[in-house]
Amino acid sequence: MSQATTVPDVPGPAPTKSSGPRKLTKAEQRAVDAKTRLSSPWASVIAIVIAILWSVPTLGLFVTSFRPEIDIRTSGWWTFFRDPAVTWANYDAVLYGGSTNFIDVFVNTIVITLPAVIIPITLALLAAYAFAWLDFPGRNMLFVAVFALQIVPIQITMIPLLTQYNNWGIVGSFWPIWLSHTIFALPLAIFLLHNFMMDIPRSLIEAARVDGAGHVKIFFQVLLPLLVPAIAAFGIFQFLWVWNDLLVGLVFGSAQEVAPLTVRLADLTGTRGTAWHLLSAGAFVAMVVPVTVFLLLQRYFVRGLLAGGVKG
């Protein structure tokens, strides 16, 4: 953990430190070198331009969400700065308007998302361990088959799956949504975690074996601590995917008691699609949690993408 404090995550504005001059560690030296190499004025200009271009639509959406309905309908968001008029009416309509209680769909989304992230990661960890460290006949074939499942478009599985859930009598509960998200996530999860596990030196596992550790002990005490960044990275991916998913939620969870936030947002524009002025506010309400999660776990995200090797 001590490393995290000394390595700046990304080359950027140098962290302000009040402590006086001291000898730089190796990592800090590297960061300083990278900074000098990467920060040419032109690169900065391009980076700033791209950042602005990418932020402007979001800013426009944000501004729009606070404008009165008639302004949204008749003029562009940029006219806001000439003639500012602010209202909470859109957020009020999104949060409290309509017959579905907003807090219910919000809770539904959380209830859907957590198991739909935890179940596939748990299963994928076990499967990835088997694929990486257990020798069994047909292992490579099976792994390729699992990997190939990513190619299957989830749309073609909808009706057969729903028929099956219906036969089991679980339609209308959360199970169809959890199971479906698990099914759709597993191929990629197994593939990613397997690759992370393969990066761990075989000698480490063998050393543990020599010391008398069984599979369970190796899995929990040797591998799991090393896999935290990978798990976190995939967890964020899966979290964002499930949170933003409409298709699975709509097909398997359209019943009022289990419908997620996205299903409600899709209905926000009204029966004839005329209430689209609510969409910008709805988008921001739906974004709050994913953005918070992303910002809080950003470190893991970046590290998870880059790392994968052994940490000292």
Partner 1 sequence: MRSKTTRRLAMATSLGLAGVTLAACGSGGGSGGGEDVDEALSSVDVACEPYEEYGDLEGTSVSVYTSIVSPEDQAHIDAFIPFEDCTGVTVEYEGSRQFETQLPVRLESGNAPDMAYVPQPGLVERLVTDFPDSVFPVGEQAEANVDEYYNESWKGYGTVDGTYYAAPLGANAKSFVWYSPGAFEENGYEVPETWDDLMALSEQIASDHPDAKPWCAGIESGNATGWPATDWLEDMMLRTAGPDVYDQWVEHEIPFNDPQVVEALDMAGQVLKDENMVNGGLGGVESIATTPFGEAGLPILDGSCFLHRQASFYQANWPEGTNVAEDGDVFAFYLPGNDTETQPLLGGGEFTLMFADRPEVQALQAYLASPEWSNAKAKVSPPGWVSANSGLDPANLKSPIDQLAYELLTDEATTFRFDGSDLMPAAVGTGSFWTGMTNWITGEDTQSVLDSIENSWD
Shortest Å, Cβ 9 to partner 1: 11
- Residue 83 Cα to chain centre, angstroms: 38
DSSP H/E element including 36 = helix 26-38
Q: From the CB of 219, what's the least distance to partner 1, in Å?
A: 25
Tokens 């990592």, located at residue: 27
Candidates 198, 204, 250, 307: give the one binding partner 1 (CB under 8 A): 250
Which one among 8, 244, 269, 290 touches partner 1, defined by CB under 8 A? 269
Subset of residues 175 to 234 that bind partner 1, contact rule: CB under 8 A: none
Amino acid at 120: P
The dihedrals phi and psi of 161, each to the nearest 5 degrees, come to: -65, -45
Cβ distance to partner 1 smaller for residue 68 or 84: 68
For residue 239, the minimal CB distance to partner 1 (Å) is 13
Residue type, position 53, single letter:
L
Q: How far is the CB of 19 from partner 1 (least distance, A)?
A: 12
Q: From 37-45, 55-63, 118-126, 271-279, give the range in contact with partner 1 by CB under 8 A.
A: 271-279
Amino acid at 136: F
Q: Using CB under 8 A, count the residues that bind partner 1.
A: 47
Stretch that binds partner 1, among 186-194, 196-204, 228-236, 272-280 (CB under 8 A): 272-280
Judged by beta carbon, residue 1 or residue 141, the one nearer partner 1 is 1
Residues in a beta bridge with 173 = 171
Contact pick of 66, 106, 133, 191 for partner 1 (by CB under 8 A)? 106
Per CB under 8 A, the segment of 36-44, 132-140, 211-219, 261-269 that binds partner 1 is 261-269
Considering the complex, state which of residue 95 and residue 111 has its C-beta at the smaller distance from partner 1: 95
Task: Yes or no: say if 280 and 94 are a contact pair by the CB < 8 Å rule.
Answer: no
Of the candidates 102, 258, 107, 237, which has an alpha carbon nearest to the alpha carbon of residue 179? Answer: 258
Residue span binding partner 1 (CB under 8 A) among the ranges 120-128, 206-214, 229-237, 290-298: 290-298
Residues 118-157 vs partner 1: string with x where CB under 8 A? Answer: ----------------------------------------
Applying CB under 8 A, among 33, 254, 310, 311 the residue interacting with partner 1 is 254
Q: Is 195 or 269 the residue whose CB approaches partner 1 more closely?
A: 269
- CA dist., res. 123 & res. 190, Å (int): 8
Token readout for 218 is: 């190796």
* Local structure of 171: helix, strand or coil: strand
Give the C-alpha separation, 189 to 147, whole Å: 10
Fill in the amino acid letter for 298.
Q
Q: Does 291 bind partner 1 (CB under 8 A)?
A: no
How far, in Å, CA of 40 to CA of 127, rounded? Answer: 46
Q: Is 28 in the site for partner 1 (CB under 8 A)?
A: no
95 binds partner 1 (CB under 8 A): yes
3-state DSSP assignment of residue 258 = coil
Should residue 16 be labelled a site residue for partner 1 when binding is judged by CB under 8 A? no
Q: What angle do CA 241, 90, 94 make, to 5 degrees?
A: 45
DSSP 37-94: HH--HHHHHHHHHHHHHHHHHHHHHHHHHTS-HHHHHHS-GGGGGTS----SHHHHHH
In the complex, which residues of this chain contact partner 1 (CB under 8 A)?
1, 4-5, 69-70, 73-74, 95-104, 106, 158-160, 162-163, 165-167, 171, 250-251, 254-256, 263, 266-274, 276, 288, 292-293, 296
